[in-house]
């Protein structure tokens, strides 16, 4: 860790995973530990990932209020999994806000399990995924909680390409926004679904979004014993190639 980083206050921290923590932007060495160390050290600040390819082999844990993961652009900063598991960002604590922007997540092989973004707790108050691109991943977003609520998540200006089996899966949520996105499924075969809205969702606003391929473009269901979902606003969206 650099001396400059040590002298900063946490409120204003911006750390560079290459300069401050030794991540490898050439894609040769595994950068998982270096990037996770930056996320842990910065607390509620910003983790900057410069342009390059970063080999990763396990998910990053986000557990501090206000943590921001920011790349240099969706075609410039690439996080590349070295195995077939898609889990990249796991939100593992009740936090007020988190952010992931301006990067790509892809694989050296096609993914067969896991979601790029996975929220696992019930008290999340806000989050942003913006200008993120995925390629050959298993799923883009999953909210795994079965009680409480995961609130105010915005997914904006993203390209989710060649996604396997599921695209976005939400349950027990309040006020989610999906805008200006493309969710492309890898095929039209059975079991592949672009959007799953599960039990106990209150408020989903979706606009200017294109869903491609898949057996089903969207499924709205209540199989977990929660209350009926309500307050959906869907406009200027298209499902092309799905049933």
List beta partners, residue 132: 103
User: Mean pLDDT over residues 63-92, rounded?
Assistant: 94
Residue whose tokens read 């790029």:
116
Mean pLDDT over each residue of the chain, to the nearest integer: 88
Residue whose tokens read 């206050």:
9
What was the pLDDT predicted at 243?
54
Gyration radius of the chain's alpha carbons: 18
On whether the CB atoms of residues 164 and 194 are closer than 8 A, the answer is no
What was the pLDDT predicted at 88?
96
Read off the pLDDT of residues 219-240 as tens digits, 9 standing for 90 and up. 888 877 767 778 889 999 988 8
Decide if pLDDT at 8 tops 50.
no
Contacts for 152-155: CB closer than 8 Å, 24+ residues apart: 152/125, 152/126, 152/127, 152/176, 153/119, 153/124, 153/126, 153/127, 153/128, 153/129, 153/177, 154/127, 154/128, 154/129, 154/130, 154/179, 155/129, 155/130, 155/179, 155/181
Band of residue 20 on the pLDDT scale cut at 50, 70, 90: very high
CA–CA separation, 210 vs 204, rounded Å?
A: 16
CA–CA separation, 33 vs 41, rounded Å?
A: 12
* Residue from 156, 146, 158 nearest 119 by CA: 146
Cα–Cα distances (Å) from 133 to 115, 163, 241, in that order, read 13, 11, 21
Decide if pLDDT at 12 tops 70.
no
Decide if pLDDT at 9 tops 50.
no
Going through 9-152 in order, the beta strands assigned E by DSSP cover 14-16, 26-30, 46-49, 52-56, 60-62, 67-71, 77-81, 89-91, 98-107, 115-119, 127-135, 139-143, 150-151
Read off the pLDDT of residues 134-156 as tens digits, 9 standing for 90 and up. 999 999 998 887 766 788 899 99
With a pLDDT cut of 90, the percent of the chain lying above it is 57
Which tokens sit at 128? 């942003």
User: Mean pLDDT over residues 82-109, rounded?
Assistant: 92
Which tokens sit at 102? 């301006």
How many helices (H) and strands (E) in the chain?
Answer: 2, 24
């Amino acid at each position: 860790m650099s001396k400059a980083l040590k002298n900063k206050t946490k409120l204003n921290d911006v750390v560079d995973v290459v300069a401050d923590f030794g991540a490898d932007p050439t894609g040769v060495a595994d950068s998982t530990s270096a990037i996770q160390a930056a996320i842990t050290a910065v607390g509620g600040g910003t983790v900057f990932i410069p342009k390059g390819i970063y080999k990763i082999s396990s998910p990053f844990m986000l557990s501090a209020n206000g943590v921001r993961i920011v790349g240099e652009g969706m075609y410039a900063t690439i996080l590349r999994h070295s195995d077939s598991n898609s889990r990249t960002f796991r939100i593992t604590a009740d936090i007020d806000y988190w952010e992931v922007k301006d990067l790509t997540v892809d694989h050296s092989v096609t993914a067969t399990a896991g979601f790029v973004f996975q929220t696992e707790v019930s008290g999340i108050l806000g989050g942003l995924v913006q200008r993120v691109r995925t390629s050959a991943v298993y799923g883009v977003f999953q909210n795994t909680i079965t009680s409480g609520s995961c609130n105010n998540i915005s997914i904006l200006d993203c390209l989710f390409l060649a996604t396997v089996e599921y695209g976005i899966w939400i349950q027990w949520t309040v006020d989610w926004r999906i805008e200006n996105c493309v969710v492309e499924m890898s095929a039209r075969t059975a079991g592949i679904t672009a959007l799953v809205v599960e039990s106990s969702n209150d408020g989903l606003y979706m606009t200017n979004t294109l869903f491609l391929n898949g057996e089903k473009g969207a499924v709205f269901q209540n199989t977990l014993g929660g209350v009926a979902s309500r307050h959906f606003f869907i406009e200027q969206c298209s499902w092309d190639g799905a049933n």
